[in-house]
Amino acid sequence: MASAKGKAPAEKGEVPKNLHRPEGRFYEAKYPEADDLVLVQVKRIAEMGAYVSLLEYENIEGMILHSELSKRRIRSIAKLVKVGRTEVAMVVRTDEEKGYIDLSKRRVALEDVPGKEAAFAKAKAVHGIMRHVASLNDINVEKLCMCVAWPLQKKYENAHEAFRKHINDEIDIWKDPELNFDALDDDEKPKVEKIKADIEIDLRRRLIAQELRLRAKIEVACSEYEGIDAVKAALLAGQDASHENAAVKITLIAHPLFLIVTKCVDKELGVKTIDEAMKLIEDSITSKGGTFVAKSRPEVVGADEKDGPDSDSDSEGSKSNASSGDRSDMGDLDVDMDAFKKQTDDKVEKGGEGGDDSD
């Protein structure tokens, strides 16, 4: 089987460190192991497959062979992968000596993708802090990772979790014996206290203040025999897109209009989570003969914007039909079916009084 030859990081000894700062890798291991899931970005497409860069491993190059792109017969590679797109891939084999990294897209289980994307978002946030603090103190980012981030990765589930507990006063990472600054040069060690202070500032800036709220509007309806049960089942299916770092909350505005909402620290992850929820809902409701319409794409909204009836400016009928008692939060599946059915009946009796929200 053909392999792609990875591009080893260039030697940087001759480059003044104040002029060049490598991106660095997220983890202590220089290469991933077989069966690891990794985030890759497609760089170019060739006849034999797609060349990609491994985002967590200093953008070293790997390849997804044509046969590893999909389980189905492939007529056009361009329809499966696009240059610039980020994908989750599985490592098939790694040859560290030669720099070969073979990857697979078809071996990745769909249910494993959200978890990997969430782990990547956490690792990216941690590495962003390391890079920034290293830049502020004119030290090599890999040295700082050796002193702080990588020891925490070994001891905790991930460094992000350790930092979260630290800023919540559950632990004090600076008292952890695993952390030491021996990797720093002698002329860099006097900066240790400033480095710690800079990390503290970045932790509170990046891990606390940057939670985003995203939402999208959808219409879900079914006039077939299963009716409301089909709608409820579809919304329940949409919740399968939830995971630890981006829980999906679905709110009834006025039938057939709903809001899908999620909160997370990574915008891309939030958008993907809502997109996945919308796809699951669409597949479920259309399989029962119902209809699905995406009224708006996932977008970031302000913390002061409500997710209730007032958030939909398209329909005065929505405001009158969906009082606080009638709204149903699908987040915990506590569905007020009587209120849901009443709104559905009202919609039929009033002949689409809700304006743009009824077709």
Q: For 74-93, write each residue's pLDDT tens digit.
A: 776 767 788 998 999 999 99
Sequence letter at residue 167: I
Query: Same domain for 72 and 154?
Result: no
| Residue 340 pLDDT | 55
CATH of the domain at 226: 3.30.70.1130
Mean of the per-residue pLDDT values for the chain? 80
Judged by DSSP in three states, 268 sits in: helix
**Domain annotation covers residue 321:** yes
| Cβ proximity of 104 and 87 under 8 Å | no
Give the residue, 231 or 308, on which the prediction is more confident: 231
Average pLDDT over residues 108-129: 91
pLDDT (average), residues 343-358? 44
Which DSSP state fits 66? G
Residue 65: CATH number of its domain? 2.40.50.140
What pLDDT is stored for residue 199 in this prediction? 96
Question: Looking at the domain assignment, is residue 3 inside a domain?
Answer: no
Residues 143-181 pLDDT 10s: 999 999 999 999 998 899 999 899 888 899 999 998 989
Task: Identify the pLDDT of residue 7.
Answer: 40
Q: Do 129 and 104 belong to one domain?
A: no
Residues 198 and 216 in one domain: no
Q: Within this chain, do residues 314 and 338 fall inside the same structural domain, yes or no?
A: yes
Report yes or no on 244 lying in a domain: yes
In a domain, 269, yes or no: yes
Q: Find the range with the poorest average confidence among 128-142, 156-170, 172-186, 291-305.
A: 291-305
- Residue 85 included in any domain: yes
Residue 14 lies in a domain: no
Claim to verify: residue 200 and residue 306 sit in the same structural domain: no
* pLDDT (average), residues 333-352: 47
Alpha-helical runs (H) found in the chain: 77-80, 113-136, 141-144, 150-155, 159-167, 192-206, 227-238, 267-287, 316-321, 337-349
pLDDT mean over 209-225: 85
Cα–Cα dist 347/137, whole Å: 63
Quick one: pLDDT band at residue 228, thresholds 50, 70, 90? confident
- Tell me the CB-side half-sphere exposure of residue 234, using CA atoms within 13 A: 28
| Same-domain check for residues 139 and 178 | yes
Pair (353, 259) in one structural domain = yes
Band of pLDDT at residue 1, cut at 50, 70 and 90: very low
Q: Which residue range forms the structural domain that includes residue 201?
A: 115-206
* pLDDT at 327 > cutoff 90: no
| pLDDT, mean of residues 223-246 | 87
Q: 4 CB contacts (<8 Å, ≥6 apart)?
A: 49, 51, 61, 62, 63, 100, 101, 102
Distance CA 112, CA 260 (A): 22
Confidence band for 253, pLDDT divided at 50, 70 and 90? confident
In this structure, the answer to whether residues 244 and 304 fall within a common structural domain is: yes
Domain count, the chain: 3
Q: Of 84, 108, 132, which residue constitutes the final position of a domain? A: 108
- Is 302 domain-assigned? yes
Highest mean pLDDT (candidates 10-19, 32-41, 67-76, 293-302): 32-41
- Coil, strand or helix at 195: helix
- For the chain, how far is it from start to end, CA to CA, in angstroms? 54
Task: Indicate if 249 and 343 belong to the same structural domain.
Answer: yes
Residue 18 lies in a domain: no
User: Domain check: are 236 and 310 in the same one?
Assistant: yes
Statement to judge: residues 174 and 307 lie in one domain: no
In whole angstroms, what is the distance from residue 207 CA to residue 125 CA? 8
Domain shared by 193 and 216, yes or no: no
Q: Which of 51, 80, 108 is the last residue of a domain?
A: 108
Among candidate residues 141, 174, 206, the one where a domain is terminated: 206
Residues 113-148, buried b or exposed e (16+ Cβ, 10 A)?
bbebbbbbbbbbbbbebbbbbbeeeebbbbbbbbbb
